[in-house]
Amino acid sequence: MRLLTLKAYLKAAHFGPTMIVTAIAFILGVQLWWEGPAYGIAFTVFLGQLLIGWSNDLYDFADDVAHKRINKPLVAGTLTPTQLHHTTFLLLPIAAAAILVGPLGFKGGLVYLLGVGCGIAYNFYFKFSIFSFLPFAIACAALPASVYLAVNRIPPMWVLLGGSLIGVAFHFLNVLKDLKQDRESNIGGLPQRVGKAPSAVIAIILLSTAVLICIVNNR
């Protein structure tokens, strides 16, 4: 695979958020287990994030073209929809198998797959719903839960709550830059319905609450 094509695939996976989630998984793996398995956990989490990002760009292709989002590989032409479609469906069974039999274990893998499923469900359905925040709340609790389950530990409630709050906050922040264009495309998630300023305020409140929860429970 040529370097430019590889870069296009990584960009189509929303490389920044993908690597943030992967890094969080690695850090949790190191804290709860040790560095060796943490690399395996990070890799399997990375595979799941590829599926979420690629399915998002495939579904949004027509809308991205309409809004001339030339920073997207499919719009820029550095990757074709057919290429990305084939690669996504090739990766799907490989990623599912790696997640279920890898260091996350079967229970942890199932929980992480729930999070991946939520991300894909958002791409195809929930982004149009008033409940658009729900997949983020579930997926961002599922990530730490899967790592805890990998070491046969019950995830603390504060970890799940903190993850959910951060996930929903990210949802509100991530929508801000394209909110006007989303409304033009009839994408009616909760942030699009409440508007830019209220979304920013909600995100700040959620992040502040998540930080406070983490501080209180780590004294």
Give the residue extent of every domain in the chain: 3-216
Which of these, 67, 100, 68, 74, lies nearest to 11 by C-alpha position?
A: 74
pLDDT in tens, 60-119: 999 989 998 999 999 999 999 999 999 999 999 999 999 999 999 999 999 999 999 999
pLDDT of residue 1: 57
Which two structure tokens, joined as six digits, stand for 60?
């949004």
Statement: residue 182 has pLDDT above 90: no
Fold of 3-216: Farnesyl Diphosphate Synthase (1.10.600)
